[in-house]
Structure 1
Amino acid sequence: MSPALRSSRARAQLTLKEPPASVGAKPGGTIARLDLQFNPSTLELRKTTEWRRSPSRMAGQSALPEFVGSGPRELSLEVFLDATATHDNSVEQAVEKLMKACVPTPASLGRKKPASPWVRFEWGTARTTSFDGVLSSLSVSYTLFDVDGKPLRATCALSIEEASVDPPGQNPTSGARTARSTHTVVAGDSLALLAWREYGDATAWRVIAEANGIDDPMALVPGTELVVPGLRDAGDEEER
């Protein structure tokens, strides 16, 4: 490979942004940016779909599955950090940037709506792996230390779960963002998952809980029909 091609090689980076101030809004300003020293050797991209199937009494037959919805994309990668050839002589500063993505930002705490930063992985012109998301897991393995115990090398395994979605709150029949809809509980359902599908925000599950008088969000009985408020209804209930 020629020197010209090596110098033009795209470098991957992770950007931490202020979480949206409201459901459906865009992320805020940049909090931190980590330019990766080494491009990842592997990227694992996952996406799930959810189906509902009613039991069939006919032996040897199964009911047709009903499409419920698709889950968010999840990107997993490893970030290798090496401070042996840098002036910082430690990887802790880079690790601290990643750790910021796991705790609420001061601005979100000030709004009394704690939320961790949104994370975006970007690498050249790649699109399928470049999306706004939240850090769902992070583990750091230190592999080399200085004589004083300072970590010099680390491998960080992280997973980013997609948080950007199409405008939430759409009612499939009316298309109205303010209309209420209903949902029949199936095995494996949770209020957080339902809030994610409807509003694009899993933390908005309390709105659904209040609308249905649910005290224990973990005790959902399959077959129960829940009322799901629209975005405007949800806002009105929060103001009361």
Structure 2
Amino acid sequence: MSPAVRAGRARAQLTLKEPPASVGARPGGTIARLNLQFNPSTLSLSKSTEWRRTPSRTAAESALPEFVGSGPRRLSLDVFLDATARHDDSVEQAVDTLMKACVPTPASLGRKKPASPWVRFEWGSARTTSFDGVLSSLSVSYTLFDVDGKPLRATCSLSIEEASVDPPGQNPTSGSRTARSTHTVVAGDSLALLAWREYGDATAWRAIAEANGIDDPMALAPGTELVVPGARDAWDEEDA
């Protein structure tokens, strides 16, 4: 494979985000991001359904099953870490990042609603394996050590269970008033420009400012994650 092809290869990454502050809300800002050194060789995706049967004494065959519900998607993968090519380094920093996904965040503890971060695996244009979830299991196997016992290689096996759900009334025709999204600020962004993109009305920027507690709409730092209210919420803010 040529260097040009290798340079353009999509790299997988794991993103840890602040858990939602309330039921049905979107996850908050980014806590940590782990760019994987090596793309996974295998991804295991599973989904379950639940059925209920009512036994019948007189039925010659089993009763027809009744659909109860659909279970969450579960993504399982192995993350390989290697620090042998870097001096005075260890794989423990990356392992610590993954471990953060297993404990409540300080912000959630402050709200007295302990919750671990939400996790999202992303790899290029893949869609079926990219969803908001929580880390349901994590195991780490250290396979190589420096002379002082410092871990240099590790394989982390993890499972991400889907946690994203549509709030009540969030189908395309529901007209929900609480639909929200997020936007990461880039150079040249402004609230008016964002409002134009989202609502087709640049004057609706005040709704975005209100949702994010912004006093100075001109002071937007690149990399900041903004909560963008749904269109109907924006109109309510304008009419208030």
**Secondary structure of 1:47's match?**
strand
| 1:87-236 to 2 correspondences below 5 Å | 87-168=87-168
CA distance in 2, matches of 1:109, 1:123: 31
Q: What CA deviation, in whole Å up to 9, does each residue of 1:31-50 have, x standing for no partner?
A: 00000000000000010000
2:87, 2:73 → 1: CA distance?
37
Unaligned runs of 5+ in 1: 178-240
Alpha-carbon shift at residue 166 of structure 1 (Å): 1.8
Q: Whole-Å Cα distance in 2 between the matches of residues 130 and 138 of structure 1?
A: 18
Q: Which residue of 1 aligns with 2:70?
A: 70
In the TM superposition, what is the alpha-carbon distance from 1:165 to its structure 2 partner?
1.1
SS in 1 for 2:78: strand
Give the CA deviation at 1:168.
4.1
The alignment status of 1:48 with 2:48, answered yes or no, reads yes
CA RMSD across the alignment: 1.6
Gap runs ≥5 in structure 2: 177-240
Q: Distance in 2 between matches of 1:130 and 1:11?
A: 13
In 2, Cα distance between the equivalents of 1:131 and 1:98?
A: 17
Give a deviation string over 1:32-80, Cα, whole Å, max 9, x none. 0000000000000010000011002235311111100000000000000
C-alpha separation in 2, matches of 1:33 and 1:87: 22
CA contact (8 A) 2:25 2:167 kept: no
Q: Provide TM-score, normalisation by structure 2.
A: 0.69
Give the secondary-structure state (helix, strand or coil) at the position aligned to 1:148.
coil
C-alpha distance in 2 between matches for 1:34 and 1:166: 27
SS in 1 for 2:72: coil
**2:33 maps to 1:33:** yes
1:169 Cα deviation (Å)? 8.1
Task: Report if the CA contact (8 A) 2:78-2:158 is conserved.
Answer: yes
User: Percent same amino acid among aligned pairs?
Assistant: 87
CA deviation vs aligned residue, 1:194-231 (integer Å, no higher than 9, x gap): xxxxxxxxxxxxxxxxxxxxxxxxxxxxxxxxxxxxxx
Kept in 1: contact 2:81–2:155 (CA 8 A): yes
Measured in 1, the distance between the counterparts of 2:134 and 2:169 equals 21
Contact in 1 for aligned 2:16/2:118 (Cα 8 Å): yes
Q: 1:87 to 1:30 in 2, by over 3 A?
A: farther
Say how many residue pairs are matched.
172
Three-state SS of the structure 1 residue aligned to 2:5 is helix
SS at match of 1:107: helix
Aligned partners of 1:109, 1:59: CA distance in 2, in Å? 54
Distance 2:27 2:73 in 1: 18
1:98-147 per-residue CA deviation (whole Å, 9 max, x = no partner) reads 00000000000000000000000000000000000000000000000001
In the alignment, structure 1 residue 80 sits paired with structure 2 residue 52: no
Shift of 1:86: 2.1
